[in-house]
Amino acid sequence: MSTAQLPVPATPVKEDLNSFRIAMRQFDYAAEKCGLEPGLCEVLRRPRRALSLSLPVKMDDGTIRVFEGFRVQHNSARGPCKGGIRYHPNVTFDEVKALATWMTWKCAIVNIPFGGAKGGIVCDPHKLSHNELERLTRRYAYEISPLIGPDKDIPAPDVYTDAQVMAWIMDTYSMTHGSNAPGVVTGKPLFLGGSLGRNEATARGCLFVIRAACEVIGIKLVGATVAIQGFGNAGSIAAQLLSQEGAKIIAISDSHGGIMNMEGLNIAELLAHKAKTSSVADFPGSKPITSEAVLELQCEILIPAALENQITLQNAERVQARIVAEAANGPTTPDADLVLHNRGIMVIPDVLANAGGVTVSYFEWVQDLQELFWEEDDVNRRLEKIMTKAFEGVFRTATIYDVDMRTGAYILAVDRVATATRVRGIWP
């Protein structure tokens, strides 16, 4: 992968951090590289449907509050739409459009028969009671229920949503449709049709592609130093799995602060500390570090596992990792991407690095439809096969086109979705 053709950004300028425009810019670059015809470009760069909602909820104190919600379906050429639901005070319609777009490419990269979707509600779930959260979720599920369904659009958890939220959505959908529909969401509790291995799937998939990248670059995973931003589902389980593989986790942050220990953090003890205090901050035996500084530590592997726009023109020159594995969606801006690529840092893009989650969601959906459930070993073995093959496909495409890994991933994905669209034809 030569870097000759990539312009190096000059001194830091103000970047466009709008996630949807970033998603379109990434797409445009790949579409141009693979010579996609202009008409298809227009079809594939826009969401097919975008629903904006007002969600009235009766609060525990008797007052009424109206929350803003979204569901966006980007593309369904390769199968039903698929994508998580995010509850966050800063979530925007454009962010959800971007996340839906990235889901389309992600499903195509791992070659599972889904298109892309995403949902969100502007709220801080930590400030809602359990009952308020349930009422908000059920109202949202009701409002999106004409669009979703096991063969139409299948939501899943994302930031600040979990198996309980999925159970409420499944129940609301089932009650209003008059039949039990476990296949309408994934990431459910096990006893309601969830899959073994789904909770760990995003991090496990990330581990498989990190392993493949280490082989290509010549890094030994045993003893490799790792820094992780975010200690939720993706980040905390990645820390656990990587330390079980013998890697040394030297720094971790969450929304309350960060910690570091160059000798390596004990992840089992850190998980117990977080369970007690709700944060990694003040972990005994560690030094405090800011979340921003975690990104700039000298280490072999950096895993952004929190939110978008963390590696930008402002800090890309200071990233010292050899591999950046994007467990989060959209952590690196396009300009920062160029800086990292020109500096020889391999970025395993989000659409590949965190695709383990949607892959095991696909397994969950298949098990629900068949009403036949698999052993965890079986889930993990199939996941490894898919992730390794996807890494090889992306790496090969990047090499053939002489581009960075993200553009390689996009070219692979765009070609698959474009082929499906061409063969199906544009209706009517």
Indicate if 389 belongs to the active site. no
Which residue, 219 or 236, has its beta carbon nearer to ligand NAD? 236
Minimum distance from residue 91 beta carbon to ligand NAD (Å) = 11
Which residue among 95, 132, 158, 335 contacts ligand NAD (CB under 6 A)? 158
d(CA 331, CA 190): 30
Which residue, 168 or 418, has its beta carbon nearer to ligand NAD? 168
User: Out of 118, 188, 248, 274, which one is annotated catalytic?
Assistant: 118
Cis amide leading into 146 (omega within 30): no
The yes or no reply on residue 307 touching ligand NAD (CB under 6 A) is yes
Q: Quickly count: other Cβ atoms within 10 Å of residue 67's Cβ.
A: 17
DSSP assignment string, 240-295: HHHHHTT-EEEEEEETTEEEE-TT---HHHHHHHHHHHSSSTT-TT-EEE-HHHHH
The yes or no reply on residue 72 touching ligand NAD (CB under 6 A) is no
Residue 254: name the closest of 294, 312, 215 by CA: 294
Residue list 244-263, contact with ligand NAD (CB under 6 A):
253-255
What is the number of the residue whose Cβ is closest to ligand NAD? 232
Which spans in 317-404 are helix H? 334-342, 350-353, 356-370, 376-401
Binding mask 354-393 for ligand NAD (x = CB under 6 A): x--x------------------------------------
Which residue, 98 or 414, has its beta carbon nearer to ligand NAD? 98
Which residue, 80 or 235, has its beta carbon nearer to ligand NAD? 235
d(CA 125, CA 57): 13
Minimum distance from residue 363 beta carbon to ligand NAD (Å) = 13
Counting DSSP H helices and E strands in the chain, the numbers are 14, 12
Minimum distance from residue 195 beta carbon to ligand NAD (Å) = 12
| Alpha-carbon distance values, 12 to 8, 9, 314, 316 (Å) | 11, 7, 6, 10
Q: Are 205 and 355 in contact (CB under 8 A)?
A: yes
Which residue, 157 or 334, has its beta carbon nearer to ligand NAD? 157
Instruction: Find the largest Cα–Cα distance for the chain.
Output: 65
Copy the structure tokens of residue 109.
Answer: 């990269």
Instruction: From 23-31, 151-159, 207-215, 412-420, give the range in contact with ligand NAD by CB under 6 A.
Output: 151-159
Binding mask 198-227 for ligand NAD (x = CB under 6 A): ----x-------------------------
The yes or no reply on residue 232 touching ligand NAD (CB under 6 A) is yes
Which residue, 172 or 236, has its beta carbon nearer to ligand NAD? 236
Residue 41: name the closest of 423, 375, 421 by CA: 421
| Alpha-carbon distance values, 406 to 62, 72, 170, 349 (Å) | 49, 23, 34, 5
Which residue among 224, 328, 394, 405 contacts ligand NAD (CB under 6 A)? 328
Instruction: From 54-62, 142-150, 155-163, 220-228, give the range in contact with ligand NAD by CB under 6 A.
Output: 155-163
The yes or no reply on residue 234 touching ligand NAD (CB under 6 A) is yes
Instruction: Give exposure, 305-316, as e/b (b: 16+ Cβ within 10 Å).
Output: bbbbbbbbbebb
Half-sphere exposure of 273 (CA within 13 A, CB side): 17
d(CA 105, CA 24): 12
Copy the structure tokens of residue 89.
Answer: 């005070």
Count of residues that bind ligand NAD according to CB under 6 A: 24
Minimum distance from residue 235 beta carbon to ligand NAD (Å) = 6
The yes or no reply on residue 329 touching ligand NAD (CB under 6 A) is yes
The yes or no reply on residue 403 touching ligand NAD (CB under 6 A) is no
Active site (catalytic) residues: 118
The site for ligand NAD (CB under 6 A) is made up of 157-160, 202, 229-235, 253-255, 291, 305-307, 327-329, 354, 357
